[in-house]
């Protein structure tokens, strides 16, 4: 297992009551194109496969399905029975342990990249965990100060300055120091991981019409414009601040390699509308490759067989492509 794991993509299956386990089973029905390791309780995977009437067998620590094989990283789910669509706070330690093992394995060089299935944030929080999201959890355990969330489709990349926070707190979080750090991470990662020699980065304003010369807010004048001007002198190709209501039109996107939005719901609705089900979430700034699906636990679909494996398959493909460049 050790030699195989060194080049394997690790997939965490996330919330046991969500669609993550069955998406892992569905993924194994397709051709497995490279070494893959799946973190889950083995009985959970076998139960979900039986429920969906999909072939899956366990031979030692190897999962066997029509599409190929995957190594199992067994995580014990014994605190409470898991039923599709019904999360249990008692199973929160299972999810946290899975993620801890995944990060530690990636940091230790046991895995080439990490792909994460969706977790139920509310259940983790209600169980007493200080869990805002995968991005923040992975960064903290990896010792990274400025993780950046970026979603990628076939035709668009969108990165965020702020991630999971209430809208009322966004303006206060837009400091010059933080924005500079985010834009440097985006520029560096596009150069190194995506092989773009000189990334062209579009940067949205925060306020309507990018502040309308200060009449609709002063964050552009006091924070965003000074940051862009300072980083341009350091060689970054930054366009903006762009009014967000037109930043995603065809003319505005022409020539851009990525659009950086100021907050979660400024940028993500656009890319999810354009390509939901095939969009991949990437965490920039980590010491390892991490990708994820573009959707949540979909509790209403769990156990029905109607969950679409497309985003997970795309996340695995992109993780393999990015890790091959390391």
| Average pLDDT across the chain, whole number | 94
Q: Is the dihedral of CA 281, 96, 324, 45 positive or negative?
A: negative
- For residue 146, CA distances in Å to 33, 150, 198, 233, 290 come to 32, 13, 21, 22, 15
Given a cut of 90, is residue 247 above it in pLDDT? yes
Going by pLDDT thresholds of 50, 70 and 90, the confidence category of residue 1 is very low
pLDDT computed for residue 6 by the predictor: 57
pLDDT computed for residue 276 by the predictor: 85
Reduced DSSP (H G I as helix, E B as strand, rest coil) percent helix, strand, coil of the chain, to 5? 40, 20, 40
Tell me the chain's radius of gyration from C-alpha atoms: 20
Going by pLDDT thresholds of 50, 70 and 90, the confidence category of residue 153 is very high
Cα separation, 220 vs 232, whole angstroms: 16
Given a cut of 60, is residue 291 above it in pLDDT? yes
| Token pair listed for 105 | 């394995």
- Outline where DSSP puts E strands in the chain: 9-12, 36-40, 57-59, 62-65, 68-74, 113-116, 148-152, 157-160, 200-204, 237-242, 258-261, 280-284, 289-292
Going by pLDDT thresholds of 50, 70 and 90, the confidence category of residue 277 is confident
Q: What percent of the chain has pLDDT over 90?
A: 91
- For residue 215, CA distances in Å to 168, 210, 211, 222, 296 come to 19, 10, 6, 13, 38
| Token pair listed for 102 | 């995944």
pLDDT computed for residue 325 by the predictor: 61
- 184-200 pLDDT, tens digit per residue, is 999 999 999 999 999 99
Conformation bin of residue 146: beta by default, left when phi > 0, alpha when psi is -120 to 50? beta
Place of tokens 């969950």: 307
Given a cut of 60, is residue 290 above it in pLDDT? yes
Given a cut of 60, is residue 7 above it in pLDDT? yes
- 32-90 pLDDT, tens digit per residue, is 999 999 999 999 999 999 999 999 999 999 999 999 999 999 999 987 889 999 999 99
| Token pair listed for 129 | 């965990």
pLDDT computed for residue 79 by the predictor: 79
Give the residue-averaged pLDDT of 113-118: 97
For residues 99 and 137, is the Cβ–Cβ distance under 8 A? yes
Cα separation, 313 vs 33, whole angstroms: 11
Given a cut of 90, is residue 278 above it in pLDDT? no
Domains and CATH numbers, the chain: 1-144+286-326 (3.40.718.10), 153-276 (3.40.718.10)
Cα separation, 20 vs 303, whole angstroms: 10
Q: How far apart are the first and last CA of the chain?
A: 21
Q: Give the count of alpha carbons within 13 A of 34, CB side only.
A: 19
pLDDT computed for residue 217 by the predictor: 96
pLDDT computed for residue 227 by the predictor: 98
Cα separation, 202 vs 280, whole angstroms: 20
């Amino acid at each position: 297992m050790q030699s195989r794991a060194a080049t394997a993509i690790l997939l965490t299956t996330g919330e046991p009551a969500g669609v993550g386990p069955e998406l892992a089973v569905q993924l194994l029905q397709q051709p497995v194109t490279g070494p893959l390791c799946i973190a889950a309780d083995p009985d959970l995977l076998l139960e979900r496969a039986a429920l969906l009437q999909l072939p899956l067998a366990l031979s030692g620590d190897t999962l066997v399905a029509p599409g190929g094989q995957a190594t199992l990283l067994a995580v014990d789910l014994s605190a409470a029975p898991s039923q599709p669509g019904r999360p249990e706070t008692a199973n929160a330690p299972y999810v946290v342990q899975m993620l801890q093992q995944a990060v530690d394995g990636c940091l230790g060089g046991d895995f080439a990249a990490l792909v994460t299935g969706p977790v139920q944030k509310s259940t983790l929080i209600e169980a007493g965990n200080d869990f805002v999201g995968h991005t923040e959890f992975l960064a903290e355990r990896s010792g990274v100060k400025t993780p950046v969330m970026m979603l990628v489709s076939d035709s668009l990349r969108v990165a965020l300055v702020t991630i999971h926070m209430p809208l009322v707190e966004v303006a206060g979080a837009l400091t010059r120091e933080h924005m500079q750090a985010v834009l440097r991470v985006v520029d560096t990662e596009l150069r190194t991981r995506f092989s773009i020699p000189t990334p062209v980065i579009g940067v949205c304003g925060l306020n309507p019409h990018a502040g309308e010369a200060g009449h609709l807010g002063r964050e552009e004048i006091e924070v965003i414009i000074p940051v862009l001007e300072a980083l341009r002198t350091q060689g970054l190709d930054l366009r903006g601040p762009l009014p967000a209501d037109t930043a995603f039109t065809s003319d505005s996107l022409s020539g851009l390699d990525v659009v950086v939005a100021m907050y979660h719901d400024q940028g993500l609705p656009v890319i999810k509308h354009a390509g939901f089900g095939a969009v991949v979430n990437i965490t920039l700034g980590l010491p390892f490759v991490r990708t994820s699906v573009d959707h949540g636990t979909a509790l209403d679909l769990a156990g029905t067989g109607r969950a679409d494996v497309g985003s997970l398959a795309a996340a695995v493909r992109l993780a393999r492509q990015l890790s091959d460049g390391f």
